[in-house]
Structure 1
């Protein structure tokens, strides 16, 4: 009789315990699911940003980030962009929340984003202000070619488009390798890249444009300088570049080949006298560190080594 009683108590205990165990299992499963939904990103500045889930509403504070999001097929997630975000065409239909240097904090709060993609070091104050409002911010603006790939992979992970990101990166690598194979072994003409005309600004080490020149088969005469820097007119004449390559918007009015040929200073350069001047067809492909950087490399390579294409 005692044995039967013990057995009944044990059965009753098990029956009472089962719902508790099931509840614990559900909580454990829910915890695992929640953890799986979280997205952890280490951004371009080395900051770790954790989101509870993949974002559905994104604000982009730079044209580059906007281009990358669209290239990944996630353009519909954008709820805010800057007035400079003009590519692709669909970007023009997204609500504008200010310009690159002065995005409107109140407008960003209004669209209630899950995350904001910031545009690099120039936006430090904006990043700090947004984080003070508990709005997650990820900085992705690249400074060199390798970090362009990192930015694409980072945003791909953020929006759940890792496969698309990998495909874009692989295609970029193939295009770059193809260009390298065509210009490899050829003499490297001396290049001066004009960012701004007055005062003269150019690019040196630590910039993706310096790398573009190198990959395209040229030698940047300003490669010893650091970053985006002012350049001495006297040094420019002394270095005597073989070709002058310029952004169209090297002045507010825009620059054309004939403008250099008529300019009192630039007409002193041998390359200008010979007409060895190239104005980039689109400043944005060379100024925005995103997928279209390959187009800039290709264009420059064709200018420097037309016989190879």
Structure 2
């Protein structure tokens, strides 16, 4: 039984499936409701990746409320305001935030719009792709007066991506199935940040034509995809044995993500990419100690 990952991961993935099919494409970061004060002192976040961003910017002291699924030790004592799809309007409003950071989706749209109508400043931050994630870091940095810190985070991730791409040139590209859940089978498809990072790591995403970023995949299609590596990013093992026993999948090498770094679209993506590269290319020579990282 797995206990290392929060239920948020699969929940968010399935919500994004709904978003892809039920809502038109969203633009970049945008404000909703009243304008936040010039000096933001009280921040509420509705997903762990945005909490991570605030902390990484050196603005953790502004946090006054976080989601049910936040596990960072820095926010262990903070009030919980619900989850990605069920934020509590009453709890958020009661914390009197100067700004609420939101990953928008159909599941939370009504609650977030209600918060804005009653006078709560909202910053909507789509997090579907790596580009979205980097743009969100810059937007949060600007809102919190941490532009230089945000740019440093962005450049750090881009530097890691460039370095991993270069290392991947010397390795054969494995065929990979990246799994978020087994029952139903949910995989990383085109447009997801995991799909982008698989390419960065020198891999072929066998679900690149799945039709959506977080696709519910048929077992027959999974068998036909003939992966060489299956990356298990699910938070529970329910249904895994059945999938692992399928023809072609039973012949694949199975690996598990070692941390949340690859699963939260935030400042840890660079570290997550390094972990992914190590999983996919275990025989690759590690950089010398004197090689810039």
2:256 and 2:68 mapped to 1: Cα distance? 24
Match of 2:100 in 1: 116
Q: Show CA shifts across 1:78-100 (max 9, x none).
A: 1111111112x111122212233
Q: Does 1:297 align with 2:273?
A: yes
1:285 and 1:51 mapped to 2: Cα distance? 30
Match of 1:234 in 2: 220
After TM superposition, where is structure 1 displaced by more than 6 Å over at least 4 residues in a row?
Answer: none
From 256, 273, 276, the equivalent of 1:279 is 256
2:124 and 2:168 mapped to 1: Cα distance? 34
Match of 2:48 in 1: 63
Match of 2:244 in 1: 266
1:68–1:290 CA contact under 8 A, matched in 2: yes
1:307 and 1:79 mapped to 2: Cα distance? 45
Q: Show CA shifts across 1:4-46 (max 9, x none).
A: xxxxxxxxxxxxxxxxxxxxxxxxxxxxxxxxxxxxxxx8355
TM-score, normalising length from structure 1? 0.77
Deviation at 1:265, TM superposition (A): 4.2
Q: Which runs of 5+ in 1 are unaligned?
A: 1-42
2:133 and 2:243 mapped to 1: Cα distance? 36
Deviation at 1:128, TM superposition (A): 0.8
1:65–1:141 CA contact under 8 A, matched in 2: no
Q: Does 1:44 align with 2:28?
A: yes
Structure number with higher helix proportion: 1
Aligned residue runs from structure 1 range 1-309, under 5 A = 44-47=28-31, 50-87=35-72, 89-121=73-105, 122-225=107-210, 226-249=212-235, 251=236, 254=237, 263-273=241-251, 276-282=253-259, 284-308=260-284, 309=286
The count of corresponding residues between Structure 1 and Structure 2 is: 256
1:197 and 1:163 mapped to 2: Cα distance? 41
TM-score, normalising length from structure 2? 0.81
1:117–1:140 CA contact under 8 A, matched in 2: yes
1:240–1:270 CA contact under 8 A, matched in 2: yes
Q: Structure 1 pair 220/120, CA: closer, same or farther in 2 (3 Å)? A: same
| Superposition CA RMSD, Å | 2.0
Select the structure of larger CA radius of gyration. Answer: 1
Greater RCO (CA < 8 Å, at least 6 residues apart): 2
2:256 and 2:71 mapped to 1: Cα distance? 21
Q: Which runs of 5+ in 2 are unaligned?
A: 1-26, 287-293
1:44 and 1:137 mapped to 2: Cα distance? 14
Q: Structure 1 pair 85/227, CA: closer, same or farther in 2 (3 Å)? A: same
1:74 and 1:264 mapped to 2: Cα distance? 45
Secondary structure, counterpart of 1:67 in structure 2: helix
1:141–1:289 CA contact under 8 A, matched in 2: no
